[in-house]
Amino acid sequence: MVRSGIRADMFTAIATLSSISELKCLKRGKEMHAHVIRNGSDYQVSVLNPLIDMYCNCGCLVAARQIFDSITNKTTPTFSTKASSSRGEI
């Protein structure tokens, strides 16, 4: 998509992060995280929750905690993501 000039929207980012999380591919996850920040979706809780999940599944709990702590308007799904993904470790 990027090579063809198509910008990923929030929904594409969520689906991509979900796939990356399942594959436990931290490198691709970090690339997607950077893409999300560059395109201004990083303020959307609906994108941050899959980011937390991806980092937890990839074993990068520090990054997951940093994202969780940066969210000012935490929602019930945010706390659920944290609890289910990290098993209480963050």
Helices (H), the chain: 10-23, 26-38, 45-57, 61-70, 76-86
Averaged confidence pLDDT in the chain: 82
The mean pLDDT value for 37-65 works out to 86
Residue 17 included in any domain: yes
Taking the C-alpha atoms of residue 54 and residue 58, their distance in angstroms, rounded to an integer, is 6
pLDDT band at residue 33 using 50, 70 and 90 as cut-offs: very high
Residue 4 included in any domain: no
Residue 57 included in any domain: yes
Closest to 46 measured CA to CA, from 6, 88, 83, 9: 9
The mean pLDDT value for 47-65 works out to 92
Range of the domain at 48: 10-86
**C-beta of residue 44 within 8 angstroms of C-beta of residue 10:** yes
Mean pLDDT is lowest, of 15-29, 58-72, 76-90, for: 76-90
**C-beta of residue 18 within 8 angstroms of C-beta of residue 28:** no
Residue 2 included in any domain: no
Taking the C-alpha atoms of residue 48 and residue 54, their distance in angstroms, rounded to an integer, is 10
Higher pLDDT, 57 or 39: 57
Residue 28 included in any domain: yes
pTM of the model: 0.80
**Number of structural domains in the chain:** 1
Residue 72 included in any domain: yes
Residue 74 included in any domain: yes
